[in-house]
Homo-oligomer: A and B are copies of this chain.
Amino acid sequence: MKWLIEDVAYLDGVHNTFVERGYMVVKDAIIEDLGAGDSPSYDESYKRISGKNRLLLPGFINTHGHAAMSLLRGYADDLPLHEWLNDVIWPAEELLTADDIEIGTQLAMLEMIETGTTTFTDMYASMDRVAEAVIASGMRAVLGRGIIGLDDPSLDKLKETEAFIRTYEGAGDGRIKTTIAPHAPYTCPPDYLTHVINLAEKVSVPLQIHIAETSKEVADSLSMYNATPVESLYTSGLFQFKVIGAHCVHLTDHDMDLLAQHDVHVAHNPGSNLKLGSGIAPLTKLLQRGIVVGLGTDGAASNNKLDLYEELRLVALLHKGVEQDATAIDAFTALRLATSEGAKALFLESGLGTLTKGAPADFQMIDSSGPRYYPRHNLLSHVVYSSHAGDVTDVFVAGKPLMRNREFLTIDQEKVCYEVGRIVQKFPRYQRVNV
């Protein structure tokens, strides 16, 4: 497909500023050209889109999540973490079939598309079904079969992971990337990690793992191994591979040095870390060390959205307040975390997450006609601080439209929401908190 978007304000990926009136040309899966002012003429095979009252941005990159947990959105909130996990989430997850996970993933993708996300990361079960749903949806995704090593004495999940990687790496015209996904140091102890490392040596894909999400995790690690989770992973040899560490909330200076030295990338999930009471990651210190950080939502059971507009604004506000420094994480830095740095954090191809010539044509348009976009002092500031995801009108991945004028084109919303209602009837009714 070929597209010519005209009369649009776009975020230029080279100069990192909004061009207030310009054009972008898409050919097949790639940005063929973009520039200020009127476009050169193109033949009729290029379908024209008016960008009047629209801002054109790269699609957002969600660097951490568990898509099918959308089935547990609002199932239980405001509970202590261990009660929430042990009494509510895990028993409900036990009931999920592969069919359910496919539907839950579709529900999550509807929400992510609706909120301007074009690439997401998943760590969950039934990953072949997830991959098929992603391929059909047109989204881009980084997928890994989540592994609790404590439950895997015969290494079946590692075998499943290897088969998944061999089948799906590069599938969907390159939109699917695979990972090895050991859940966390506390669920994948050092002896299990040696098997993970054996697999990592055979396949050349990145690893994703939760690291130092809670202070309890750190305390337990210190007590068992006399090492922090980061130190323990370093000692295991994991950091010789490409690693995406999710959360990284509770870190020592030595931990951060290790992450920087070994180019471990971090998926920062400010909303989920707040909601679960986990804490607030030391983002400015991570960035000062040159560590690559992307933004993530985590699953919808602990957020309860998959909306990077929310995380974008939150990341730009939260660290200013915590550090009592209004210059911390400025608007531009925040927007990069949701776009180009997110792509880097996931070890994806150069150019993804930017609007530049030759980059993958993954982009969104937002309606800037409402009062929150006035006055026009600074469009970049408005996107970060004044927008919300309801402004998103159009989302394209690899040049293909997934949503046009707020209408989903690749997933049947009505069918998915109906199926979701059917699935959740089997969950035990959890006593609602305060209602």
Using a CB–CB cutoff of 8 Å, the interface residues on chain A facing chain B are 16-18, 70-75, 77-81, 84, 107, 110-111, 114, 215, 270-271, 273-280, 300, 303-305, 307, 309-310, 313-314, 316-318, 320-328, 330-333, 370-372, 374-378, 380-382, 385-386, 388-391, 413, 416-417, 420-421, 423-424, 430, 432-435
Q: Are A305 and B374 in contact (CB under 8 A)?
A: no
Known contacts A16-B435, A79-B326, A114-B372; 17 additional CB pairs below 8 A are: A17-B435, A70-B371, A71-B375, A73-B374, A73-B381, A73-B386, A75-B375, A77-B331, A80-B325, A111-B372, A114-B370, A275-B326, A277-B324, A309-B388, A330-B434, A377-B424, A390-B391
A391 proximity list for chain B (CB < 8 A): 390
Q: Are B386 and A74 in contact (CB under 8 A)?
A: yes
A307 proximity list for chain B (CB < 8 A): 372, 388
Q: Are B331 and A378 in contact (CB under 8 A)?
A: no
Q: Which of A110, A271, A434 has the most CB of B within 10 A?
A: A434
A277 proximity list for chain B (CB < 8 A): 320-321, 323-328
Q: Are B381 and A304 in contact (CB under 8 A)?
A: yes
Residue A278 contacts which of B273, B321, B378 (CB distance < 8 angstroms)?
B321
A424 proximity list for chain B (CB < 8 A): 375-377
> How many angstroms between the C-alpha atoms of A18 and B237 in the bound complex?
52
- Contacts A305-B372, A388-B388; A75 near B276 (Cβ below 8 A): no
Q: Are B322 and A73 in contact (CB under 8 A)?
A: no
- Contacts A273-B321, A275-B385, A385-B74; A432 near B378 (Cβ below 8 A): yes
A270 proximity list for chain B (CB < 8 A): 321
Closest Cβ neighbor of A391 among chain B residues: B390
Closest Cβ neighbor of A281 among chain B residues: B321
- Contacts A275-B317, A385-B305, A389-B390; A420 near B323 (Cβ below 8 A): no
Closest Cβ neighbor of A424 among chain B residues: B375
Q: Are B371 and A78 in contact (CB under 8 A)?
A: no
> How many angstroms between the C-alpha atoms of A75 and B16 in the bound complex?
18
Residue A304 contacts which of B276, B305, B332, B385 (CB distance < 8 angstroms)?
B385
Closest Cβ neighbor of A380 among chain B residues: B435
List 23 contacting pairs A-B, 8 Å CB cutoff, sorted by A: A16-B434, A16-B435, A70-B371, A70-B374, A73-B375, A74-B385, A79-B326, A79-B327, A111-B371, A114-B370, A274-B318, A277-B324, A277-B325, A278-B324, A300-B386, A304-B382, A305-B386, A310-B313, A331-B435, A332-B433, A374-B421, A380-B435, A388-B389
A333 proximity list for chain B (CB < 8 A): 434
> How many angstroms between the C-alpha atoms of A314 and B332 in the bound complex?
21
- Contacts A77-B385, A215-B324; A107 near B305 (Cβ below 8 A): no
Q: Are B275 and A107 in contact (CB under 8 A)?
A: no
Q: Closest Cβ of chain B: how far from A160's Cβ, in Å?
A: 28
Q: Closest Cβ of chain B: how far from A181's Cβ, in Å?
A: 25
Q: Are B378 and A280 in contact (CB under 8 A)?
A: no
- Contacts A320-B277, A321-B273; A421 near B375 (Cβ below 8 A): yes
A77 proximity list for chain B (CB < 8 A): 330-331, 378, 381, 385
Q: Are B375 and A420 in contact (CB under 8 A)?
A: yes
